[in-house]
Structure 1
Amino acid sequence: MNTPITNTPQQQIPIHNTPDDRLNSRPHVNQGRQLRRHHTTRYYIHRVKESLTTRISKLICAVFLSLVFIVGLITFILWLSLRPHRPRFHIHEFSIPSLAQDNGLASAQATYNVTARNANLNIGIYYDTMHITLYYQNQNIGEQPLLFPFYQPPKNSTILYSTLSGTHLVIDEARWASLVAARMRGTVMFRLEVASVIRFKVAGWTSKEHKMHANCNIGVGPDGMLIPSYSIPKCPVYFT
């Protein structure tokens, strides 16, 4: 009679898993590591591409900024060397000789000597018709057109010399009496305005027209001659 064989705990054969077997028995762990390794490779490839793109962008920006700086520097230098300066006007002589006489109205005339200076280094100036106006107490007492358009080269001076008399100098008896009264006080003040239309010339280029006005304050002594201190300052020049 056969007796059935039963396995007791002592008769069971223990099964031990090696570390590799444990890893193999957990496929999700290996899969996770493979995914992490795959993600890391893509990440570094992306970082390399991003780094190259950043470097190229920085290089393009550096080249662009360098070009802008160079162009700006050249423009600034050209502007410094070519920017037009306004003409400079000075009164050198002015006289009303008959002002020293109480009855000098009949022979009244005003002689002036004005210097126009082009102080530019590389820029010439074209002057169209020029107009001279003499004011006393802000009233026009004489005017004269100078009908000779001319070109003034750089670093050049032009003398404007003429006399206001006859129909170009309008002084009535009341105004003459005011002039004599001012002479008795020591100084007679006048204002001489030089007006013209000018254009600047640089090489083969000519600017648009500018209406120019120069106002020269004039102080005349009892002898009817220009007081020396009024020949020192330059006349203010403005454009309209």
Structure 2
Amino acid sequence: MQDPSRPATGYPAPPYFQPNGGQAPPSGAAYPYAAPPPYPQPQYYNPNSSRTRFTRSFVRTFFATIICLFVIFGTIVFITWLVLRPTLPRVRLESLSLSNLSANGQSLSGTWQAGFLVRNENKKMSITYQVIRSSIFYKSTYLSEAQLPPFKQETKNETALNATFSAVNTYVEKRIVDDMNGDKARGSIPFDVQVLASTSFRSGAWRLRTRVLKVLCRNALIGISSNGGTSGRLSGGAKDCQVWT
């Protein structure tokens, strides 16, 4: 009789079950065991991203504010300009005289005296003339200049100005001397008188920027005797001058 404590022998071992006949599973076939869940990918945190967004927002707000301020300021200036509407002064050449004229060879001598009347046409703005310089020309050729004193004009105000020009043996081209003597022989010599002034318009506390006022009195004829005359005066009466800035 067989001892029960000994293992049984003589029986074949149970066969090991291999799926698919022991062959490798085909490509794409599901694995018999469930795949583990995917491991979550770590997310990168940039500590400067919030600071960058804040900087961009601040820059956009800053520039938008600056643009709005410029628009508001420009609108205020434009409305003020429409209300005040500064008008350029009116300038008239009241008198022009010449004495001691001498034009020989390439030398010119003479003394000119000019009188201007300046009128401020504005009803709400005063005008300040700070630096005033006047010059006299013959056919675009510079002859002499004079410095005039500064002054201020209130609204609807008139101011008389006088300027004296002097040339002593001033060099000029021979053709200029010949042309001047030719005009003298015909009884009158034309001159152009120019005025440049640094001006500013003001109404109460409102002051516009300083501008250079330009005045040109063209073709002011001085009648002079053709028979050895050396002096003469403005002929044809006072002349209105061109004014611009």
Q: Identify the match of residue 238 of structure 1 among 223, 233, 244.
A: 244
Q: Give the aligned length.
A: 157
1-structure distance, mates of 2:85, 2:170? 41
SS in 2 for 1:183: helix
Check if 1:129 corresponds to 2:131. yes
1:73-152 to structure 2, matched below 5 A, reads 79=82, 82-99=84-101, 108-146=110-148, 148-152=149-153
2-structure distance, mates of 1:152, 1:88? 12
Q: TM-score, normalised by structure 1?
A: 0.58
* Structure 1 pair 98–176 and aligned structure 2 pair: CA distance change class (3 A): farther
Structure 1 segments (4+ residues) deviating >2 Å:
169-178
SS in 2 for 1:144: strand
2-structure distance, mates of 1:150, 1:110? 22
AA partner of residue 195 (structure 1): L
AA partner of residue 227 (structure 1): S
**Residue in structure 2 matched with residue 66 of structure 1 by the alignment:** none
SS in 2 for 1:221: strand
SS in 1 for 2:241: coil
2:87–2:122 Cα contact (<8 Å) kept? yes
**Residue in structure 2 matched with residue 228 of structure 1 by the alignment:** 236
SS in 2 for 1:178: helix
* Structure 1 pair 171–185 and aligned structure 2 pair: CA distance change class (3 A): farther
Deviation for aligned residue 1:180: 2.3
1:195–1:212 Cα contact (<8 Å) kept? yes
1:1-240 to structure 2, matched below 5 A, reads 79=82, 82-99=84-101, 108-146=110-148, 148-166=149-167, 170=170, 172=172, 174=174, 175-217=176-218, 218-223=220-225, 224-229=232-237, 231-232=238-239, 234-239=240-245
Structure whose alpha-carbon radius of gyration is higher: 2
1:189–1:220 Cα contact (<8 Å) kept? yes
* Structure 1 pair 93–127 and aligned structure 2 pair: CA distance change class (3 A): same
Deviation for aligned residue 1:238: 1.1
1:135–1:192 Cα contact (<8 Å) kept? yes
1-structure distance, mates of 2:193, 2:130? 19
1:196–1:213 Cα contact (<8 Å) kept? yes
2:136–2:194 Cα contact (<8 Å) kept? yes
Deviation for aligned residue 1:193: 0.5
2-structure distance, mates of 1:90, 1:170? 28
Q: CA RMSD in A?
A: 2.6
AA partner of residue 97 (structure 1): S
Deviation for aligned residue 1:197: 1.1
Deviation for aligned residue 1:102: 7.5
- Unaligned stretches of 5+ in structure 1? 1-74
Deviation for aligned residue 1:116: 1.2
2-structure distance, mates of 1:237, 1:190? 17
- Partner deviation per Cα, 1:41-90 (whole Å, 9 max, x = no partner): xxxxxxxxxxxxxxxxxxxxxxxxxxxxxxxxxx69x836x211101110
Q: TM-score, normalised by structure 2?
A: 0.57
When you count strand as a share of all residues, which structure comes out higher?
A: 2
- Partner deviation per Cα, 1:159-216 (whole Å, 9 max, x = no partner): 111311256x946584444322111123311110000111101111111011110000
1:141–1:171 Cα contact (<8 Å) kept? no
Deviation for aligned residue 1:222: 2.1
